Amino acid sequence: MQIMYRSPFLLFNNYKTQKGEDVMKKTSQETNKKKEIIGFRKACKAKGTGLSHYILVDSSKK
Protein backbone atom coordinates (compact mmCIF):
# COMPACT_ATOMS: atom_id res chain seq x y z
CA MET A 1 0.00 0.00 0.00
CA GLN A 2 1.34 3.37 -0.91
CA ILE A 3 0.68 6.06 1.66
CA MET A 4 0.96 9.50 0.17
CA TYR A 5 1.61 12.83 1.83
CA ARG A 6 -1.39 14.96 2.62
CA SER A 7 -1.11 18.55 3.69
CA PRO A 8 -1.33 19.07 7.46
CA PHE A 9 -4.34 20.76 9.05
CA LEU A 10 -6.24 20.40 5.81
CA LEU A 11 -9.91 20.69 6.51
CA PHE A 12 -11.27 23.13 3.98
CA ASN A 13 -9.88 21.69 0.82
CA ASN A 14 -12.98 22.64 -1.08
CA TYR A 15 -12.89 26.35 -1.41
CA LYS A 16 -10.67 26.38 -4.45
CA THR A 17 -13.78 25.40 -6.29
CA GLN A 18 -16.06 27.39 -4.04
CA LYS A 19 -14.22 30.68 -4.24
CA GLY A 20 -16.38 31.76 -7.13
CA GLU A 21 -19.57 29.92 -7.77
CA ASP A 22 -19.78 26.47 -6.28
CA VAL A 23 -19.86 23.71 -8.76
CA MET A 24 -21.95 20.66 -7.98
CA LYS A 25 -19.78 17.62 -8.27
CA LYS A 26 -21.21 14.78 -10.22
CA THR A 27 -22.05 11.99 -7.83
CA SER A 28 -22.01 8.28 -8.32
CA GLN A 29 -25.58 8.08 -7.07
CA GLU A 30 -27.59 5.22 -8.55
CA THR A 31 -24.51 3.61 -10.06
CA ASN A 32 -23.92 1.49 -6.96
CA LYS A 33 -27.41 0.14 -6.70
CA LYS A 34 -26.95 -2.80 -8.96
CA LYS A 35 -23.66 -3.92 -7.50
CA GLU A 36 -23.55 -7.12 -5.49
CA ILE A 37 -20.77 -5.80 -3.25
CA ILE A 38 -19.80 -2.21 -2.59
CA GLY A 39 -16.52 -1.62 -0.87
CA PHE A 40 -13.49 0.61 -1.20
CA ARG A 41 -10.81 2.22 0.90
CA LYS A 42 -8.41 5.07 0.41
CA ALA A 43 -5.27 5.90 2.36
CA CYS A 44 -2.99 8.84 2.94
CA LYS A 45 -0.49 10.03 5.49
CA ALA A 46 -2.38 10.60 8.74
CA LYS A 47 -2.20 14.21 9.87
CA GLY A 48 -5.38 14.70 11.86
CA THR A 49 -4.91 17.23 14.62
CA GLY A 50 -8.36 18.65 15.26
CA LEU A 51 -10.82 18.14 18.04
CA SER A 52 -14.52 18.60 17.94
CA HIS A 53 -14.49 22.04 19.49
CA TYR A 54 -12.67 23.47 16.55
CA ILE A 55 -12.05 23.06 12.84
CA LEU A 56 -8.49 23.20 11.69
CA VAL A 57 -7.49 24.52 8.34
CA ASP A 58 -4.45 24.72 6.18
CA SER A 59 -3.99 28.45 5.94
CA SER A 60 -1.41 28.03 3.19
CA LYS A 61 -4.34 27.19 0.94
CA LYS A 62 -5.68 30.70 1.07
Partner 1 sequence: MNKRSGASSTGKYLNTGNGLCLNYIDLGHPDYVAVVEPDTAFWSLVKKDQLGEVVSGNIIVDKLKIHLKDMNKEMETLRFKLKPSAVYFNPTEQCNLNCPYCYIPSRMRKQGRHMSWGKIDEAFQILKGYFGESLPERQKPQIVFHGSEPLMNKDAVFRAIETYGRDFSFGVQTNGTLLEQKDFDFLSSNNVMIGLSIDGPAEEISDQTRKNWNNAGTFKKLLKTLEICQDYPLLSVICTVTEHNIKSLTEIVDFFHAHHIKNCLINQVRCTLEGGRQVKPSDSEMAEMFIKALDRTHELFRQTGRKLIVANFANILLGIVAPSARRLMCDISPCGAGRCFFAVSAKGDVFPCSEFIGLKNFKGGNLFKDNLSEILNSIPFQIVTKRKIEDIKPCSKCAIRHFCGSPCPAEAFEINGGMAYPGAFCEFYEEQVRYAFRLIADGKENDYLWDNWDDNTSEVFRF
- Contacts to partner 1 by CB under 8 A: 1-19, 21-25, 27-33, 35-60, 62
Contact indicator for 43, 1 with CB cutoff of 8 Å: yes
Distance, CA of 55 to CA of 62 (rounded, Å): 15
Distance, CA of 12 to CA of 6 (rounded, Å): 13
Closest distance of CB 27 from partner 1, Å = 6
For 54, the 3-state DSSP assignment is strand
Closest distance of CB 15 from partner 1, Å = 5
Closest distance of CB 20 from partner 1, Å = 12
